[in-house]
A and B are shown apart, each in its own frame.
Chain A
Amino acid sequence: QVQLVESGGGVVQPGRSLRLSCAASGFTFTSYGVHWIRQAPGKGLEWVAVISFDGFNKHYADSVQGRFTISRDNSKSTLYLQMNSLRAEDTAIYYCARDQEFISTTSTSFDSWGQGTLVTVSS
């Protein structure tokens, strides 16, 4: 079955960097776009970024544009999120999620989710 396992979360000071990883299994990773979505404690969902199946197309939320970078290593079936210049408002559970569309450069809905990794930005 599809499995997505996030890692790399933790407590980090404002202005510092952190890299999240998401290990995928149970499906052909190279055929699907993958997303990062976050949820601040007690709040709603916020889409963060997407990378297409081939890694060539990337899109970001305005709130992270220029600070976060999404990437993927298809040889390792792993998704990454490099987060720089972290702010208190970046504190959230970060989920990776698979796009529902097979071999597509457009995004649709998220049909599989990981359990999430908590990032806390605090001094």
Chain B
Amino acid sequence: AVQLTQSPSSLSASVGDRVTIACRASQGISSALAWYQQNPGKPPKLLISDASSLESGVPSRFSGSGSGTDFTLTISSLQPEDFATYYCQQFDTYPLTFGGGTKVEI
């Protein structure tokens, strides 16, 4: 199975900060990667698919980049509603897998 390693597992930031979350795949997955945001007690929300395609309605401060094994989610200017846990997910190979998550805290 493709293993996804997210770093850091948690981070502390302030409103207005630029935040970068990394996701590394154990083997090449082309651009078959998605990013999700999850708030406590809620289901995840799709932010980005195909490594860099922003979903409709997602603020433009979110961006994704990368291909192959190394991927990045960037929040250009952190807003209060962005404090949440973020997950990457690969869909190149079955079984589909998620990264361990990155908790963004104040």
Mutual binders A and B: yes
Interface window among B12-20, B75-83, B90-98: B90-98
Instruction: Contact check, B43 vs A60: say whether CB atoms are below 8 A apart.
Output: no
Interface residues of B in 28-45 (CB under 8 A from A): 32, 34, 36, 38, 43-45
> Using Cβ atoms and an 8 Å threshold, which residues of chain B touch A100?
46, 49
> Using Cβ atoms and an 8 Å threshold, which residues of chain A touch B34?
108-110
Instruction: Contact check, B46 vs A110: say whether CB atoms are below 8 A apart.
Output: yes
Interface of A is mostly: strand
Per-residue CB contact flags for chain B residues 42-84 toward chain A (1 = under 8 Å, else 0) read 0111100110000100000000000000000000000000000
Q: Which B residues form the contact surface with A (CB < 8 A)?
A: 1, 32, 34, 36, 38, 43-46, 49-50, 55, 87, 89, 91, 94-101
Which B residue sits closest to A114, measured CB to CB?
A: B43
> Using Cβ atoms and an 8 Å threshold, which residues of chain A touch B98?
44-47
> Using Cβ atoms and an 8 Å threshold, which residues of chain B touch A62?
1, 95
Interface of B is mostly: loop
B32, B91, B97 — most chain A CB neighbours (10 Å): B91
Report how many residues on chain A are interfacial, defined by Cβ distance under 8 Å: 23
Interface residues of A in 89-123 (CB under 8 A from B): 95, 97, 100, 106-111, 113-116
Bound complex: CA A119 to CA B73 (Å)? 32
> Which of A46, A109, A113 sits near B49, CB closer than 8 Å?
A109
Which B residue sits closest to A100, measured CB to CB?
A: B49
Q: Which A residues form the contact surface with B (CB < 8 A)?
A: 35, 44-47, 50, 59-62, 95, 97, 100, 106-111, 113-116
Instruction: Contact check, A61 vs B95: say whether CB atoms are below 8 A apart.
Output: yes
Instruction: Contact check, A95 vs B43: say whether CB atoms are below 8 A apart.
Output: yes
